[in-house]
């Protein structure tokens, strides 16, 4: 199929365009999820936690937590994937608008969507398993009774950011991933059949 | 896709998964990538550590071990203590050790470290150089039809697996952050009962100020002043407190404080005991010393020195002379000495006085020999 310009009909062309846009917006969505503060902390610990980075202060002094640093490191493949997804989407749109051959782009998008299923597993694990446990440790209450008496040293509470609770909900990101996979598969099947 | 390529991908996936499997199942060695700053400056983020199974190579205190608890959670810290059943580790850069864990979780002893700068840049350079050498083939591949979707999928799948396998998530992160604490070390009276010294054991917190200090006995409260000295509070007890306690016959005095800390505040209620005791008399070298072990002034009265001698004919004791001294006020926790000089013909003398203790009259007498 090398170098063959395929004549898509209007219907297939629309599906191809949707898959390209889906790749672009999926990449942008993942980028947003990576940089959006998911949790904010108030009290004796203040700051925020995103997937790619975090900023926490304990009694006004910055602290580093190895578990959150590990989450940041584990988010690097997601960052690479999101940037690639945006690039692939933009390349498709370029080819589409220039009326170039879009076959390679569609295959790239399909491969990208398949990779998205693996990435969604990583994202799901970070958002639902690792982060809640690690960030949950930041809910502390240091008010206590000791041999010295009643010691009031403050407490901290963790809140989920309202915006990120929408974007990082399982329904949204799994739904988005499923939609992306569906349209890219459809475009790929149409490509293969034609 | 050729079966040879599929087989290559499977082998690579298995090799990468080995790192993941070795966290839970016993394997001869484990490879992990350090994340976090808990082992600075020994290990930095991105360093690759190679560990040998602890079944093959036993560890000792000060060795760095990889403790793995699940597929995803491991820590790479230094051993500070271990027994037959548990091990305690600590990050070099952490103020506190980790909670102790069963010994079985210490799975690998770190034997080799590849610093991040030693592998990342060379690998990046090598890959870039390889891609540059193969640039024509790469360009042709990227614009061709063949297998691009599988390559994209395989690259990201391998990247995903590599990171998940090699980068463990640490446990106990926040448990190793020092938390401020205030404990009572002790209370004692100093400066002859005028000052109550309250000593604290402080961790990551400092005393700033005292906003409220009250000493009270029953329903009577007395304002007190304080001074801060490092981790101690010096509470000046007003003398009226002791007078009131003596008046009521109370032996326990309570002090209530509100102490401002740099990270919060402390409300403490402390009490100490005062025993109302008789005056302590001692005699040495013609001196009678009267010690007041109480925290109030003691009034002594009817102080007399009776000089005694012996009748030259019958040899019976006779009074040679009697001297009456003015009343003496003995300061709290202080001495007063009565010097008894012999008079002509005296062989010994009696020093006598009376005082009141909690409503009772007490008579004291001491013999002074010449």
- Looking at chain B from residue 181 to 220, which residues have their Cβ under 8 Å from any Cβ of chain A? 181-184, 200, 205
Last residue of a domain, one of B166, B191, B220: B166
Structure confidence at residue A10 as a pLDDT band (50, 70, 90): low
User: Is residue B203 classed as helix, strand or coil in its secondary structure?
Assistant: strand
**Domain annotation covers residue B359:** yes
- Candidate from A48-52, B166-170, B224-228 with smallest mean pLDDT: B166-170
Residue B226 in contact with residue B233, Cβ under 8 Å? Answer: yes
* Arithmetic mean of pLDDT over chain B: 89
Q: Say how many domains are in chain A.
A: 1
Q: How far is A48 from chain B (nearest CA, A)?
A: 15
Sheet of B225-229, strands arranged across: B181-190, B195-203, B232-236, B225-229
Residue A184: per-residue pLDDT: 92
**Domain annotation covers residue B172:** no
Structure confidence at residue A4 as a pLDDT band (50, 70, 90): very low
Long-range pairs of A157-162 with CB within 8 A, sequence gap ≥ 24: A157/A41, A157/A42, A157/A43, A158/A39, A158/A40, A158/A41, A159/A39, A159/A40, A159/A41, A159/A42, A160/A38, A160/A39, A161/A36, A161/A37, A161/A38, A161/A39, A161/A40, A161/A48
User: Which residues on chain A are in Cβ contact (under 8 Å) with B271?
Assistant: none
Structure confidence at residue B186 as a pLDDT band (50, 70, 90): very high
Average pLDDT over residues A119-136: 91
CB nearest A107 (choices: B149, B156, B157): B149
The tens digit of pLDDT for each residue in B278-298 reads 999 999 989 999 999 999 999
Q: B169: which DSSP letter?
A: B
B31/B121 same-domain check: yes
Residue A6: per-residue pLDDT: 47
Residue A113: per-residue pLDDT: 93
CB nearest B169 (choices: A71, A122, A151): A71
Q: Provide, rounded to the nearest whole percent, the portion of chain B with pLDDT above 90.
A: 52
The tens digit of pLDDT for each residue in A102-112 reads 888 888 899 99
B229/B87 same-domain check: no
Residue B2: per-residue pLDDT: 64
Q: How far is B342 from chain A (nearest CA, A)?
A: 57
Residue A20: per-residue pLDDT: 92
The tens digit of pLDDT for each residue in B143-161 reads 665 677 888 888 898 888 8
B90/B40 same-domain check: yes
**Domain annotation covers residue A161:** yes
B150/B228 same-domain check: no
Is the bond preceding B46 in cis, omega lying within 30 degrees of 0? no
Q: Provide, rounded to the nearest whole percent, the portion of chain B with pLDDT above 70.
A: 96
**Domain annotation covers residue B58:** yes
- Looking at chain B from residue 226 to 245, which residues have their Cβ under 8 Å from any Cβ of chain A? none
B304/B255 same-domain check: no
B161/B204 same-domain check: no
**Domain annotation covers residue A4:** no
B207/B138 same-domain check: no
**Domain annotation covers residue A5:** no
- Residues A109, A185: Cα–Cα separation, whole Å: 9
CB nearest B173 (choices: A137, A149, A151): A137
**Domain annotation covers residue A21:** yes
- Residues B294, B292: Cα–Cα separation, whole Å: 6
Last residue of a domain, one of B166, B194, B211: B166
Predicted confidence (pLDDT) at residue A3 exceeds the cutoff of 70: no
Is some CB atom of chain A closer than 8 A to the CB atom of B113?
Answer: no
Predicted confidence (pLDDT) at residue A52 exceeds the cutoff of 90: yes
Q: Provide, rounded to the nearest whole percent, the portion of chain A with pLDDT above 70.
A: 94
The tens digit of pLDDT for each residue in B90-145 reads 989 888 888 889 999 999 999 999 999 898 888 888 888 888 888 887 777 666 65
Q: What CATH number is given to the structural domain containing B8?
A: 2.10.109.10
Residue A9: per-residue pLDDT: 62
A148 vs B50, B198, B223, CA distance in Å? 47, 9, 20
User: Which residues on chain A are in Cβ contact (under 8 Å) with B45?
Assistant: 69, 73
- Residues B363, B348: Cα–Cα separation, whole Å: 19
* Residue among B201, B299, B192 nearest B237 (CA): B192
Domain range for A90 is 10-193
Structure confidence at residue A5 as a pLDDT band (50, 70, 90): very low
Separation of CA A99 from chain center:
31
The tens digit of pLDDT for each residue in B324-344 reads 999 999 999 999 999 999 999
B10/B151 same-domain check: yes
Predicted confidence (pLDDT) at residue B354 exceeds the cutoff of 90: yes
- Residues A71, A66: Cα–Cα separation, whole Å: 9
Is some CB atom of chain B closer than 8 A to the CB atom of A151?
Answer: yes
How is B7-64 classified by DSSP, letter by letter? HHHHHHHHHHHHHHHTTTS--SEEEEE--SSTTTTTS-TT-EEEEEETTTS---TT-E
B146/B41 same-domain check: yes
Structure confidence at residue A152 as a pLDDT band (50, 70, 90): very high
B265/B287 same-domain check: no
**Do the Cβ atoms of A74 and B169 come within 8 Å?**
yes
Is some CB atom of chain B closer than 8 A to the CB atom of A189?
Answer: no
Residue B146: per-residue pLDDT: 62
Predicted confidence (pLDDT) at residue B193 exceeds the cutoff of 90: no
Residue A2: per-residue pLDDT: 43
**Do the Cβ atoms of B168 and A70 come within 8 Å?**
yes
User: Is residue A8 classed as helix, strand or coil in its secondary structure?
Assistant: coil
User: Which residues on chain B are in Cβ contact (under 8 Å) with A154?
Assistant: 263-264
Residue B94: per-residue pLDDT: 85
* Residue among A169, A156, A171, A144 nearest A44 (CA): A156
Predicted confidence (pLDDT) at residue A7 exceeds the cutoff of 60: no
User: Which residues on chain A are in Cβ contact (under 8 Å) with B163?
Assistant: 73-74, 76-77, 122
* Residue among B300, B213, B208, B194 nearest B256 (CA): B213
**Domain annotation covers residue A2:** no
**Domain annotation covers residue B152:** yes
The tens digit of pLDDT for each residue in B214-238 reads 999 888 899 999 999 989 999 999 9
Q: What CATH number is given to the structural domain containing B225?
A: 2.60.40.1220
**Domain annotation covers residue B233:** yes
Q: Say how many domains are in chain B.
A: 3
- Residues A73, B82: Cα–Cα separation, whole Å: 31
Domain range for B190 is 181-273
**Domain annotation covers residue B268:** yes
Q: What CATH number is given to the structural domain containing B306?
A: 2.60.40.10
**Domain annotation covers residue A76:** yes
**Domain annotation covers residue B176:** no
A2 vs A103, B1, B264, CA distance in Å? 9, 16, 72
Predicted confidence (pLDDT) at residue A81 exceeds the cutoff of 60: yes
The tens digit of pLDDT for each residue in B50-64 reads 999 999 989 999 999
**Domain annotation covers residue B174:** no
User: Is residue B111 classed as helix, strand or coil in its secondary structure?
Assistant: strand
Last residue of a domain, one of B112, B132, B166: B166
B250/B104 same-domain check: no
Q: Provide, rounded to the nearest whole percent, the portion of chain A with pLDDT above 90.
A: 60
């Amino acid at each position: 199929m090398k170098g063959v310009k395929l004549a898509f009909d209007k219907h297939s062309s629309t599906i191809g365009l949707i898959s390209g846009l889906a790749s672009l917006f999926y990449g942008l969505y993942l980028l947003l999820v990576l940089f959006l503060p998911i949790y904010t902390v108030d009290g004796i610990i203040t700051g925020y936690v995103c997937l790619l980075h975090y900023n926490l202060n304990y009694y006004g002094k910055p602290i580093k937590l190895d578990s959150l640093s590990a989450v940041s490191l584990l988010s690097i493949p997601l960052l690479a994937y999101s940037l690639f997804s945006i690039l692939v989407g933009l390349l498709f749109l370029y080819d589409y608008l220039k009326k170039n051959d879009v076959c390679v782009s569609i295959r790239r998008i399909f491969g990208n969507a398949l990779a998205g299923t693996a990435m969604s597993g990583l994202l799901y694990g970070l958002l639902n398993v690792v982060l809640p446990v690690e960030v949950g440790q930041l809910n502390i209450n240091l008010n206590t009774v000791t041999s010295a008496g009643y010691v009031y040293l403050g407490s901290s509470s963790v809140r989920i950011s309202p915006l990120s609770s929408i974007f990082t909900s399982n329904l949204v990101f799994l739904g988005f991933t499923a939609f992306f996979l569906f349209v890219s598969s459809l475009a790929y099947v149409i490509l293969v059949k034609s | 896709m050729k079966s040879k390529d599929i087989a290559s991908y499977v082998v690579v996936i298995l090799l990468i998964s080995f790192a993941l499997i070795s966290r839970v199942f016993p394997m001869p060695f484990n490879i992990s990538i350090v994340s976090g700053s808990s082992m600075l400056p020994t290990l930095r983020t991105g360093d690759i550590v190679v560990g040998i199974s602890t079944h093959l190579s036993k560890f000792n205190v000060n060795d760095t071990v990889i403790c793995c608890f699940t597929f995803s959670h491991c820590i790479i810290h230094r051993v500070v203590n271990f027994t037959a059943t548990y091990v305690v580790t600590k990050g070099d850069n952490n103020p506190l050790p980790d909670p102790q864990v069963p010994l079985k979780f210490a799975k690998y002893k770190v034997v080799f470290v590849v610093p991040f700068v030693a592998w990342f840049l060379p690998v990046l350079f090598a890959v870039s150089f390889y891609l540059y050498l193969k640039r024509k083939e790469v360009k042709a591949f990227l614009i061709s039809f063949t297998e691009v979707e599988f390559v994209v999928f395989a690259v990201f799948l391998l990247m995903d697996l590599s990171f998940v396998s090699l980068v463990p998530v640490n446990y106990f992160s926040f448990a190793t952050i020092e938390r401020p604490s205030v404990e009572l070390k002790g209370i004692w009276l100093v400066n002859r009962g005028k000052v109550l010294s309250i000593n604290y054991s402080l961790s990551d917190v400092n005393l700033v100020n005292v906003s409220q200090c009250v000493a009270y006995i029953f329903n009577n409260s007395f304002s007190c002043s304080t001074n801060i000295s490092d981790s101690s509070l010096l509470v000046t007890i007003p003398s009226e407190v002791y007078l009131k306690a003596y008046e009521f016959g109370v032996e326990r005095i309570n002090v209530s404080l509100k102490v401002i800390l740099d990270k919060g505040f402390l409300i403490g209620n402390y009490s100490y005991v005062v025993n109302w005791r008789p005056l302590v008399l001692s005699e040495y070298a013609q001196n009678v010393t009267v010690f007041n072990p109480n925290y109030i002034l003691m009034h002594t009265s009817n102080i007399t020195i009776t000089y005694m001698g012996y009748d030259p004919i019958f040899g019976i004791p006779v009074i040679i002379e009697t001297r009456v001294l003015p009343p003496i006020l003995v300061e709290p926790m202080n001495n007063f000495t009565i010097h008894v000089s012999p008079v002509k013909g005296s062989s010994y003398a009696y020093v006598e006085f009376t005082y009141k203790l909690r409503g009772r009259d007490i008579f004291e007498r001491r013999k002074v020999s010449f």
